[in-house]
Amino acid sequence: MLLLGAMLTGVLDDCFCDVESIDVFNNFKIYPRIKKLTERDYFRYYRVNLKRPCPFWSDDGHCAIKDCHVEPCPESKIPVGIKSGNYNKYSQAANSVSDRSECEQADDLGAINSTLSNQSKEAFVDWARHDDAQDHFCELDDETSPDADYVDLLLNPERFTGYRGASAWRVWNSIYEENCFKPRSVYRPLNPLAPSRGLCLEKRVFYRLISGLHSSINIHLCAEYLLDEGWGRSVWGPNVQEFRRRFDTAETKGEGTRRLKNLYFLYLMELRALYKVAPYFERAFINLYTGNSREDGDTKELLLQIFNEIKAFPMHFDEKSMFAGNKLEAKTLKEEFRLHFKNISRIMDCVGCSKCRLWGKLQTQGLGTALKILFSEKEIQNLPERSPSKGFQLTRQEIVALLNGFGR
């Protein structure tokens, strides 16, 4: 965010925080740790279905450029604790399996551990029921689908691959144009990135989050831009000209500054969600399980260090003002908010470039998980200290998307 900070100064709208403070906090406290965290086994493997058809229009063909391709990770490369199922992050017997064969581990991990109490076993059943009925902010991939693959995120980085198909423009145009709130506000700007005068806080937040997500993706494409395809190997690097075309104040008639401010706003919202969810992970029995006890312990310790830094940040976004009016109106608006965002997650299946689709789906799920956390404050506050919760849980996919999305 160093380059961005050079282009922005001052206080952000809708929150009492300034750009300079966020830059210092992120660049020196958070980013070095979040980078290390997302390189660890638990967070580098993401299961995703990139073959789901676009639900909104006829598929106009996928990108044929080789750099658009996403290489699935062979099953043999996936840590046994990850491929054995989501519930393993709660396993109470994970420390004893690291020296045994992969097949033996897989056999044991294929069923709920017999050392768990009856109360814990019942909780697992309740989790499944709750998860099936839970109102998600994202359209979740079916991890059991034969079309779902594990992807090594470190080997498939987010970058501009050279794809310039119509689907990219169509996806973002649909996101902005087809997800307005009803009834419409007295004033709705034609450009969703324009000042949101006349919109209530919730609607401003919605548009600013989507704009921030769009800005984040564009910045990463500019930072890892396909510069040369000569001599049989591709070369990526920063494309400053493309960055300025999208964000420079003069070239965008002022829109670029708002886009970047919305990126900072998105950062604060996801930071707030991590602050809120810290108690969920701080419980002793929560284990980010891969099957390697030393690796798992180091990963959780690093995650807790990040939470401690986040707690010390003095200027968190205050989400309590959202949906705080008439209860019926607030409930209706909150549901509309959820459905809009869920719709956006479905649109990501229309992205033509597989690598762009991968990172679009991951970052959308990460933001959806952040929203789920912010709207589950009471459930998180009531978490039992020594046993799983019926009212709030996160799947491994949500955890991986949340931290990688925030890392982006």
**How does 288-308 read in b/e, with b if 16+ C-beta sit within 10 Å?**
bbbbbbebbeebbeebeebbe
Q: Is 68 labeled as catalytic in the residue annotation?
A: no
pLDDT tens, residue by residue, 168-181:
778 888 887 766 65
Would the annotation count 272 as a binding residue?
Answer: no
**CA angle 390-90-98, nearest 5°?**
170
Would the annotation count 161 as a binding residue?
Answer: yes
Would the annotation count 197 as a binding residue?
Answer: no
Would the annotation count 259 as a binding residue?
Answer: no
Determine whether 63 is exposed, middle or buried from the number of CB atoms within 10 Å of its CB (0-12, 13-18, 19+).
buried
Residue of 54, 73, 138, 353 marked active site: 353
Q: Measured between alpha carbons, how far is 236 from 223 in angstroms, rounded to an integer?
A: 8
Paired residues of 45 in beta bridges: 152
The low-confidence residues of the chain, meaning pLDDT below 50, are 2, 5, 86-117, 120-121, 123-124, 126-134, 183-197
Q: Is 356 labeled as catalytic in the residue annotation?
A: yes
Q: Measured between alpha carbons, how far is 47 from 394 in angstroms, rounded to an integer?
A: 15
Residues 6+ apart with CB under 8 A from 88: 81, 82, 94, 109, 287, 289, 396
Residue of 54, 63, 222, 356 marked active site: 356
Would the annotation count 214 as a binding residue?
Answer: yes
Cβ–Cβ < 8 Å for 36, 145:
no
- Supply the pLDDT for residue 135: 57
Would the annotation count 159 as a binding residue?
Answer: yes
- Supply the pLDDT for residue 203: 79
Please tell me the pTM assigned to this model: 0.82
pLDDT tens, residue by residue, 261-281:
999 999 999 999 999 999 999
- Supply the pLDDT for residue 182: 53
